[in-house]
């Protein structure tokens, strides 16, 4: 199991498409790390499911990305990613002692701190 | 039927190697294209980051709580933040992942077995049969006394030869081939990722740095 970050450009930037893509990611144990101004998503998902993500009719394009820690805003991005993962894990009922989640789709399972 | 050695030589290795190399080249090209498209997208998308928050701690009012003779020095904390800075995602630190085929293996396994069974059965037999029949007759009267006898001997001889031969030929060939390639993420090629050119116009002459 290797979790990788992917840049995902949806076929349409409307909310329902983004929500459906987030569902695809959450269903496979992944996380939405951030959204961008044009509706693209940065997600973290097991690369085993990368093809499922790419082949989705809702996804126009998906490709791997890496966070360069020497980037100008790498640290704020890292904090943002961590915040979003923590929030989504908490919403899914993650238990640190077992590493398991109670429910991947509880109400509000996909909280996300949006960038400006 | 070609010999086993010849059949092994007939395995189309050159074709297989060519097709594998071709597939790798095509796959590599598509992967690079996807990474470049990602780089283009990341270079366009922007994110605003507040680089610094300021906390100014100044001496505050000196207060003496009710009922106490000890004065307490207060502080005044003023919060402020720097203007948000807009970065492209590429500048911010998100870079496309480039992949490279680092190792490829072609493994061909072929198992050929050939078996010939020849069986021959040879049977020979002979029957010999002989029989003897004796007939005797005697006659006598006052004037005559005589007799006759007859001996009949018959013999039969028979022989047979059975010859049976059979040849059983069994041939089986099993083959499997395995193509395995290893794909690893590699640092982006320097020429494919845009450089960040900073022009500091605050200095005279403007200072240009490339990173």
- What was the ipTM of the complex prediction? 0.76
Which residues in chain B have their CB less than 8 angstroms from residue A116's CB? 48, 84
Nearest to B34 among A63, A68, A115 (CB): A63
Which residues in chain B have their CB less than 8 angstroms from residue A67's CB? 93-95
Interface residues on B facing A, Cβ-Cβ cutoff 8 A: 34-35, 37-38, 41-42, 44-51, 84-85, 87, 89, 91-97, 99, 185, 196
The alpha carbon of residue A27 and the mean position of all alpha carbons in its chain are separated, in whole angstroms, by 11
What predicted TM-score, i.e. pTM, was given to this entire model? 0.63
Q: Is the pLDDT of residue B26 over 90?
A: yes
Cβ within 8 Å, pair A115-B48: yes
Give 3-state DSSP helix, strand, coil % of chain B, rounded to 5: 20, 60, 20
Domain A3-101 in this protein, CATH class:
alpha beta
Cβ within 8 Å, pair B47-A115: yes
Q: Is the pLDDT of residue B78 over 60?
A: yes
Would you list the domain boundaries of chain A? 3-101
Cβ within 8 Å, pair A64-B96: yes
Instruction: Look at residue A1 in the predicted model and tell me its pLDDT.
Output: 62
Nearest to B37 among A63, A68, A116 (CB): A63
How confident is the model over A33-47, as pLDDT tens digits? 998 888 899 999 998
For residues A4 and A47, the answer to whether their CB atoms sit within 8 Å is: yes
Instruction: Look at residue B192 in the predicted model and tell me its pLDDT.
Output: 67
Instruction: Look at residue A55 in the predicted model and tell me its pLDDT.
Output: 92
């Amino acid at each position: 199991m290797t979790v990788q970050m992917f840049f995902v450009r949806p076929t349409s930037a409307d909310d329902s498409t983004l929500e459906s893509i987030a569902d695809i990611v959450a269903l496979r144990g992944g996380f939405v790390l951030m959204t961008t101004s044009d509706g693209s998503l940065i997600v973290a998902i097991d690369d085993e499911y990368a093809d499922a993500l790419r082949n989705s009719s809702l996804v126009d394009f998906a490709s791997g990305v890496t966070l360069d820690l020497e980037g100008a805003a790498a640290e704020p991005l890292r904090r943002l990613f961590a915040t979003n993962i923590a929030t989504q894990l908490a919403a899914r009922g993650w238990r640190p002692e077992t590493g398991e989640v109670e429910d991947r789709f509880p109400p509000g399972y996909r909280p996300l701190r949006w960038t400006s | 039927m070609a010999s086993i050695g010849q059949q092994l030589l007939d395995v189309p290795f050159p074709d297989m190697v060519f097709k594998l190399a071709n597939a790798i080249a095509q796959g590599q090209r598509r992967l690079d294209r996807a990474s470049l498209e990602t780089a283009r997208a990341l270079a366009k998308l922007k994110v605003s980051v507040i680089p610094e928050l300021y906390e100014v701690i100044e001496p505050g009012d000196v207060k003496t709580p009710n009922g106490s003779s000890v004065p307490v020095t207060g502080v005044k904390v003023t919060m402020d933040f720097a203007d948000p800075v807009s970065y492209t995602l590429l500048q911010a630190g998100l870079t496309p992942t480039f992949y490279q085929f680092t190792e490829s293996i072609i493994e061909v396994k072929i198992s050929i077995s050939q078996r010939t069974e020849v069986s021959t059965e040879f049977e020979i037999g002979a029957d010999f049969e002989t029989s003897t029949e004796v007939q005797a007759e005697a006659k006598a009267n006052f004037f005559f006394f005589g007799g006759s006898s007859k001996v009949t001997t018959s013999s039969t001889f028979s022989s047979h030869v059975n010859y049976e031969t059979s040849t059983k030929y069994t041939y089986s060939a099993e083959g499997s081939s395995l193509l395995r390639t290893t794909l690893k993420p590699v640092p982006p090629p320097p020429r494919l990722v845009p450089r960040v050119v900073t022009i500091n116009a605050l200095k005279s002459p403007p200072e240009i740095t490339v990173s």
